[in-house]
Amino acid sequence: MFTVFRKPKTFKLRALHRTKKFGVAGRSYQEVLRKGCFHFQLPITGSRLCLYEDGTELTGDYFSSVPDNSELVLLTSGQTWQGYVSDIHHFLHAFHKPQAGLIQAARQLLSGEQAPLRQKLLADLLHTVSENTEAETRAEDPPWFEGLESRFKNKSGYLRYSCESRIRSYLREVSASASMVGAEAQEEYVRIVGLMCRKLRAEQYHSSYFDRGAEADSRLCTPEGWFSCQGPFDVDSCASKHSINPYGNRESRILFSTWNLDHIIEKRRTVIPTLEAAVAERAGREVSWEYFYGLLFTAHNLKLVHIACHKKTSHGLRCDPRRIYRPQTKPKRRQPARKCQ
């Protein structure tokens, strides 16, 4: 015997993988199920109803406790629904090559959505699948270049410039510290900065880090342009799985500028002061400027991090004292002259 209620309960009902919802009212579980199957032209046998939110299946007894205007999903035999995650999986399945129909479906869902969490999920998914990631030139994706100088003709070129600008700023900081070194050591300090500058020019300021077209060992992104946060300086990875593709659209390009190349051993607190002291206290030893170069300008000591993973507190790390100076070569002992026989 089915439980029947005097006052009809109202619901929003949709079938699996269909975006359109319709209102339905019924005094029992079976009445709502029957109306749903009739509307969507689905067989009643094997069909069932579940809550959209978490996938809980309805029964005749549970039907009475479900609030009015709840959203339901109609499933046929063999179909499953796990709640919000099922919608996410459906979108991710078509993620790499989203079709116009998928984008339109997401927009329709978003336009009628009121729950803040679902609005956020849909907006983020729509933002991602609408990206024009494959486009590279200004002609292929004009909106991406809005606000940029006309000299930038392709996305990779601009992002190389963006990376180079960051590295150049580090070099300026190192150069500015020449005044902090005593007069006797300034000449050597300036010489070392000059060597670093020449190496940076030869390496094109490591601008390939942001270039998706660069060799795999020279870039920090995938061939499609996806960057993953490497996590704070004191952990191996990002617990939040932050990622971004600045090649996708203008908004992502702008947001990427808030990501940081964070020095694991800190540049201002540690590396530059150690370099200053090494030059001033060298006492005939030769400073290993290549070691400091690696700490200041390369991925050996740089982590790409989302702004939320950028810890600005003291890292408490020090330069390796064994690598500050070049190893001193011991002079060879002269062999005693052999007497002629």
- pTM of structure: 0.68
User: Are the CB atoms for 24 and 70 separated by under 8 Å?
Assistant: no
Which residue type sits at 106? A
| Distance from C-alpha of 317 to C-alpha of 320, rounded to nearest angstrom | 9
Residues pairing with 50 in the sheet: 57, 73
Residue 126 C-alpha from the chain's centroid: 17
Q: Which residue has the tokens 């660069």?
A: 214
Helix/strand/coil for 127: helix
pLDDT of residue 2: 53
pLDDT of residue 184: 86
Helix/strand/coil for 282: coil
213's tokens: 């077209």
| Distance from C-alpha of 305 to C-alpha of 232, rounded to nearest angstrom | 7
Sheet of 70-75, strand order = 22-26, 9-15, 70-75, 48-51
Q: Which residue has the tokens 């500028």?
A: 257
CATH 1.10.600.10, applies to 9-86: no
Q: Taking Cα atoms as reference points, which of 63, 81, 77 lies closest to residue 25?
A: 63
pLDDT of residue 132: 85
CA angle 204, 206, 211 (to 5 degrees): 100
| pLDDT by position in tens, the chain (length 341) | 455 556 888 999 999 877 788 899 998 999 999 999 999 999 999 999 999 888 888 888 888 888 888 899 999 998 888 776 666 666 556 555 555 566 666 666 656 666 676 677 667 766 666 678 899 999 999 999 999 999 999 999 999 999 999 999 999 999 999 988 988 899 999 999 999 999 999 999 999 999 999 999 999 999 999 999 999 999 999 999 999 999 999 999 999 999 999 999 999 999 999 999 999 999 999 999 999 999 999 999 999 999 999 999 999 999 999 999 999 776 556 555 454 44
Helix/strand/coil for 48: strand
Write down the domain spans for the chain.
9-86, 97-130, 155-309
| Distance from C-alpha of 170 to C-alpha of 176, rounded to nearest angstrom | 10
pLDDT of residue 1: 47
